[in-house]
Structure formats: C-alpha cells, structure tokens
Chains A and B, each alone.
Chain A
Amino acid sequence: MKITPERVAAVAKLARLTFTAEELTRFAAQIGDILAYMDMLNSLDTTGVEPLYSPAGLAGPTGATRPDQARQANSRSETLANAPATDGEFFLVPRVV
C-alpha cells in the first residue's frame, strides 16, 4: 500500500508528533519502503501459531510477584527536580480546563 504524506500526518497526530511538509514527504517515502519490506511476512504461513509477545518466563520463573508491603518511595523534591516547570509541589502544565 502506498503511504502518502497525509497518512503519515494522521498517524503522527496519534503519536503526538508534528512534521514539516518536507519531513512528511521524506518520511512517507521511507516508511513506504520499510512497510513494503515488512510485507514479506505475508508469505509466511502462521496458521495455528501462538504469538510470542515476550520471552519473559520462557526459560525460568520471573518472580514477578513480591510481598505487598509499604516501602520508602522517591521523595517529592527529587521527583520534581528534572521537571521543566513546577510550583515546588506539583508539575505545571498549560491550563487544561
């Protein structure tokens, strides 16, 4: 399927990205090539094959559960230290409502 600059713009909007007209044209061509290559998977018979989404736990237990106990969390000042804008207690963003 041909990937148009308009199609790239629509998907970019879903991903909260904006592109210039030059970027849209360039990315549309590159993404079209890459998707055309990926279409080779259509020739693979996967009837009845269970999809593998993660190798976690395939070869041994992960110990994913742990006791539900309160622990020391990160401090507010450390958590806010990397934020672009705060009021000392909260992250600040442009007015939403």
Chain B
Amino acid sequence: MSDLHLLNLTQVRDLLARGEIKAQEAVAACLGRIHDTEPKISALLSVQGEQALDAAKSLDAAGPDTDKPLWGVPIVVKDAICAKHAPTTCASRILENFVPFYDACAVARLRAAGAIILGKSNMDEFAMGSSTENSAFGPTANPWDLSRVPGGSSGGSAASVAARQCYGALGTDTGGSIRQPASFCGVVGLKPTYGRVSRFGLVAYGSSLDQIGPMARTPLDCAALLSVIAGHDPADSTSAAVPAPDYEAAVAARADLTGLRLGLPEQFWGEGVDPEVRDACRAAVDAAEKLGAKVVDVSLPHTPYAVAAYYIVAMAEASSNLARFDGVRYGYRDPSAGDLAGLYEKSRGAGFGDEVKRRIVLGTYVLSAGYYDAYYRKAAQARELLRRDFTAAFERCDLLCGPAAPFTAFGLGEKKDDPLQMYLSDIFTISLNLAGLPGLSLPVGLGRDSRLPVGLQLFGPAFGEDVILGAAEALSQALPSLPLPRGIAAA
C-alpha cells in the first residue's frame, strides 16, 4: 500500500493487528515519508531508522499480539524524553552527546505495548519557548507554510504528525507546549491532568507544571496513546494513584454531545484574539450545539494574571532544575575551565542558549532573598486563585472551551527578539498547567484570512480526559477534515 502514511494511528494499528500489513511496512512507509519531507521541515533531531526496522522485524517474526495495543505502530518522541540508546538532547548544546541508558516510563510503556520509536523530535531548548526557534540545532518549519513556525515547544512532534512522518508522537506541555503547536500545525494534542502520566525520564523544566501527552491526527488516536502511557508509576512521586480508564472505549461510547454543558469563559473570547481565530472557534461551538451541547457563559476572572504568575513559577523551578547541568556527570564540559567554579560557569555559559540563560537568571532573581515573597509566593497565591476560578466554573459546566492560541502560526523570526511578546502568546494555555488540569487542542478549520489551522481548546476537571476526548472526537466528526498541509504538498 503506497499511501500507508496517510492512515490515522488507529487505522494502521487495526491493519497491523489483523496481519494485513507487516510492522516493517509501516516503519518503511514512515521512513520514506521522513526522507521526503524532512529536508523541508526539519522536525526531527535524530532518526532511529535501523533500530526501528530491527524492532519491526522482531515483531513480525513473532506475529501480531492482542496483548500489545500499539503493536507495530511507529511513534516519534520529543527530545526532552529519554529513550534508551537514542540521543536525548533537549535541543541543547549542553546535552548534545547525551545518550540515556534507560527509557522514560512513557517510552517504556509504548514499547511494552508494541509501539516502535522512529525518532526524536525538535523542540525549543529545554522546552523553553513557543516557536521551536530556540532549538540549538535550528528551527522546524510549519508544514502548512514553510516560512512560519510550528509553534512550540513541541513543534517538532506537531510538525512530524502533520507531515505524516509518524502516526502519533509524545510531546510535553509545561505552559501549552503540546496544545499551541498542535493548534499551529492542525493536529490534535492533549495535555493530561498533572500526575496522569509519569514524568520519570522526562528532563525536568518546571516540575509542578510539566506533563507528557499524546499528539496525533484524531482525538481517538490520542485516546489510544493515552490509554498506554497513563497510570501510576512509583518512580514519580507526583504520579497519581488513580486508575486510568480505557480512553478509547470511553470515546467510542459517546456518539454526540447530548447533555454536555460547554462553558465559554468570557476572558478567552474577547479582546486580543484574532477575528479569524475567534470566528473559526465560534463556528465549532455552533457545531457542538447542533450535536446537543448546551452552551453556558462562565468567567475565569483571574486569567489576566496567569502569564505573570506562570512565568515566575516556571522560571523559579527551571533555575533549580537546570542546576544539575554542571559539566561533571553528563553533558558539555568546557575544555578551558581552570578551577571547579570556572568549570561550572564556562560549561553552562557555552552549553545553554539565550532563552535558557534568561530564564535561569530570572528564576534565580525571583527566588533570591528579599524578592521571594514579592514574586514567587505572590505567584503561588495567584495560582491558587486561578485554581478556584476553574473549580467554580466546573460547578456550572462539564467542559470549558476557547481558542488554543490567540492567532495562527506566526512567521519565523517574527517574535524571536522580543521574549515578552513570545510569552504572551501562551495566554490561553498556561492557566491549565498552573491548576494541573487537562486540555486538548482540536483542529477546527483554517483561518479565513491566513488559511492556516485554528485550534479549539477543550478543557476539563482533573482526570476528565475521557470526557474531553469523547467530546473532541464527536465534534471532529461534525467538522470538515483538514486537507494535507500545503507546504509539503509536493513531497
């Protein structure tokens, strides 16, 4: 089958499970597609082609296994997540030669489910950024328009899924890093509830905010991935000891949106949103109403404080987490270092990029004596007020929705030299990370002016992934599906 790469994850999985195609064919289709599209989009930092073909060969020799729900399915993993014997660079010079000797929990679960790791995807260095331009190894291009960013920080994963290089990918989301690139690239991305997916083996950025989540072309595909990677892990002390349901079954059980109370937070639909984004999202809400959803107006009054609170918390946690990169146990060591202090300063100075340094300095500043109460503690109080906003809203509705980003994909270089403007593009995604709640970005069409994908964000209460995924799949069935991204149409 020559168009194998065009199938969705669950479609190819079913063909594999029935023995109608071999795992080696699925891997070869993806590697061929990577070969054709990668020169245009640069979504991947490394490709484990031989390892993937060897893994496929072993699977084919044993035959399909009903105990392995992703048997033979090729997957891409963001380069912030450790995969054994594959480089894990976090798109940073300081980890350029780092090869972990263990799998992250999410990767181990994928492999145990029969999935095949194809490659590691590009990202903003240490997941700090909203455009994938902060990668030390060069930016990724948006498959819809090669002069535009794919979003970030999981821009490589989003672009890879959109370009049909793989059937699904893992991303990570600290302040919108799954949902915003999913929105910009026209794919589905889910940030699970904090604690739903183990962070073991994820290189830490903001430990109270980070979550690993699935990215794919349909909500059903994301459900299939989440069913595999979710669940308690004793190796992550913040992992939730809450049973993970069969998300795919939950999605299949919902045919329409009858009885669903869908809240529209006023702060997400007003000023600051491009009219084409607002209109595309509003049309999707209208479609949801036709499917039986009941629209409710709600308010999240502390939303205007979210960006400030988020960046204080994230940078404070980053400054602590990135202290481990010292040029001693792993990573880059500057050869000119004289004494130990010089080794630290020179290795970190040469190994980290600008945005990482900026965040470490800001994080150190807000935690330093005399400023801790004014910044860090104050931000944590704002965080509690944001959480209370959500609690109050979910008393009146089942899910909330709004645009995933205020605009469609912006141009490469457009915001790169203005960090504050870049931070403000995360306005609609970061509140969820502060409150620890799940959210999904669903492609709802193309903007009428830009002709670029628009994402609607559906967010729910803690552990409400089954409701979010079910509603997203039902809604996606009622919306016209996106064409192939035109930036790679000739590939």
Q: Give B102 Cβ to nearest chain A Cβ, in Å.
A: 8
Pair A51/B380 contact, Cβ less than 8 Å: yes
* A49 engages B384 (CB within 8 Å): yes
Q: Classify the secondary structure of B's interface with A.
A: helix
B375 touches A14 (CB 8 A): no
B114 CB within 8 Å of chain A: no
What's the Cα separation between A38 and B374 when bound, in Å? 10
On whether the beta carbons of B328 and A40 are closer than 8 Å, the reply is no
- Closest chain-B Cβ to A47's Cβ sits at a distance in Å of 9
Q: List which A47-72 residues lie within 8 A (CB) of chain B.
A: 49-64, 66
Q: Could you tell me how many residues of chain B have their Cβ less than 8 Å away from some Cβ of chain A?
A: 82
Cα distance A66–B100 in the bound complex, in angstroms: 25
With a cutoff of 8 Å between Cβ atoms, the chain B residues found around residue A55 in the complex are 194-195, 208, 387, 434-436
Chain B residues, Cβ within 8 Å of A57: 195, 238, 240
Contact yes or no, A15 B436, CB < 8 A = no
Contact B357 A19 (CB under 8 A): yes
Partner of A60, one of B240, B305, B311, B341: B240
B219 to chain A, nearest CB (A): 22
> With A38-B312, A52-B383, A58-B436 as given contacts, are A15 and B364 in contact (CB-CB < 8 Å)?
yes
- The answer to whether A49 and B195 touch (CB under 8 A), given A16-B344, A17-B360, A18-B345, is no
* Residue numbers in B under 8 Å from A15 (CB-CB): 319, 323, 360-361, 363-364
Of the residues A17, A38, A60, contact of B348 by C-beta under 8 Å = A17
A88 within 8 A of B: no
Chain B residues near A64 (CB-CB < 8 A): 237-238
**Distance in Å from the Cβ of A29 to the closest Cβ of chain B?**
11
Given A38-B312, A93-B343, A94-B337, the answer on whether A58 and B462 have CB atoms closer than 8 Å is yes
Additional A-B contact list (5), CB under 8 Å, known A50-B381, A62-B240? A16-B323, A41-B305, A56-B238, A60-B242, A94-B337
26 A-B residue pairs with CB within 8 Å: A11-B364, A14-B364, A15-B363, A16-B323, A18-B346, A31-B358, A34-B311, A37-B420, A38-B375, A40-B305, A41-B375, A44-B305, A44-B385, A51-B383, A54-B238, A55-B434, A55-B436, A58-B387, A58-B462, A60-B241, A60-B462, A62-B241, A63-B239, A63-B241, A82-B99, A82-B331
Q: A residues bordering B, Cβ < 8 Å?
A: 8, 11-12, 14-19, 23, 27, 30-31, 33-35, 37-38, 40-42, 44, 46, 49-64, 66, 74, 78-79, 81-85, 91, 93-96
